[in-house]
Amino acid sequence: MAWSFCGKVQLGGLLLSLFGWVCSCVSTALPQWKTLNLELNEMETWIMGLWEACVTQEEVATVCKAFESFLSLPLELQVSRILMVASHVLGLLGLLLSACGLECFQFHKMKWVCKRQLCLLGGTLEVSASATTLFPVSWVAYGTIRDFWDDSVPEIVPRWEFGDALFLGWAAGVGLALGGLLLIFSACLGKEDVPSPWLAGPTAPPLCAPMQDSDGSFHLTPRPRSLVI
């Protein structure tokens, strides 16, 4: 059966939300939140993430060390850890609720108004996951820019720069926001409790047909010969 416009909007919002959620998970696991290149040794690159710091040397293996204490981390990394994990939980819950609210998903003849509410709630959770993703990524980026242009630090001291995980986090936040807004928009499309073509079952003929207008004449219908009493 062909998809309706509302169903296409729901599917697009769900796919965008899934893309943003996967990118958010990957950006949290990657250590490339900050990069540091040493001018004295160009073959060595330092990278820092939310969970570990690594040293990459050309033609040599990468050595990583996890942060031992959570309280010893800078405030921006502590908050980023908490918010990114919260983003994963909100995004996953929003995906599950939105998937149940799709018009092609049938579960014990769920009413269309209930499915619309699930899409609305799922879209709201995806927008919340977008906010909890964009905030820590932007905060780390702001701190990196602030330290990079700090005049109190001598120019000879190496500066931290943006890592690839920040750009992936921004893409994740945008994907979650667009997907959540599409899901909310699909929930606002239908104003009445009208089932979609996926939920509509086979229509049965009416039990009683309407009476046709009579002209007042009386007609006798002959009995069929094949009728046996």
pLDDT digit string (tens) for 75-134? 999 999 999 999 999 999 999 999 888 877 666 565 667 788 888 999 999 999 999 999
Q: Give the mean pLDDT of 45-53.
A: 91
Q: Structural domain of residue 131, as residue ranges?
A: 5-30+73-189
Q: Is 42 within the bounds of a domain?
A: no
Residue 177 within any structural domain of the chain: yes
In a domain, 212, yes or no: no
pLDDT at 229: 43
Indicate whether 219 belongs to any domain: no
* pLDDT for res 33: 94
What pLDDT does residue 17 have? Answer: 95
SS3 6: helix
Q: pLDDT at residue 43 above 80?
A: no
The pLDDT, as a whole number, for residue 203 is 45
Higher pLDDT, 208 or 92: 92
Is residue 35 classed as helix, strand or coil in its secondary structure? strand
Length of the chain: 229
Residue 222's pLDDT is what? Answer: 55
Domain count, the chain: 1
Mean pLDDT of all residues belonging to the chain: 81
Instruction: Answer yes or no: is 78 within a domain.
Output: yes
Task: Tell which wins on pLDDT, 33 or 104.
Answer: 33
pLDDT of residue 1 exceeding 60 = no
Please report, for the chain, how many H helices and E strands are present, in that order: 4, 5
Structure tokens at 109: 């003849």
229 inside domain: no
* Signed CA dihedral, 29, 35, 41, 42: sign only: positive
- Mean pLDDT lowest among 77-86, 139-148, 196-205: 196-205
Domain of 83: which CATH number?
1.20.140.150
Q: Among 4-13, 59-68, 123-132, 201-210, where is mean pLDDT lowest?
A: 201-210
> What confidence tier does 58 reach under pLDDT thresholds 50, 70, 90?
confident
- Cα-based angle 171, 172, 173 (whole degrees, multiple of 5): 90
Average pLDDT over residues 204-211: 43
48 within a domain of the structure (yes/no): no
Give the pair of three-digit tokens for residue 10.
């729901």
Q: Indicate the pLDDT class of residue 174, thresholds 50, 70 and 90.
A: very high
pTM above 0.95, yes or no: no
Tell me if 213 is assigned to some domain: no
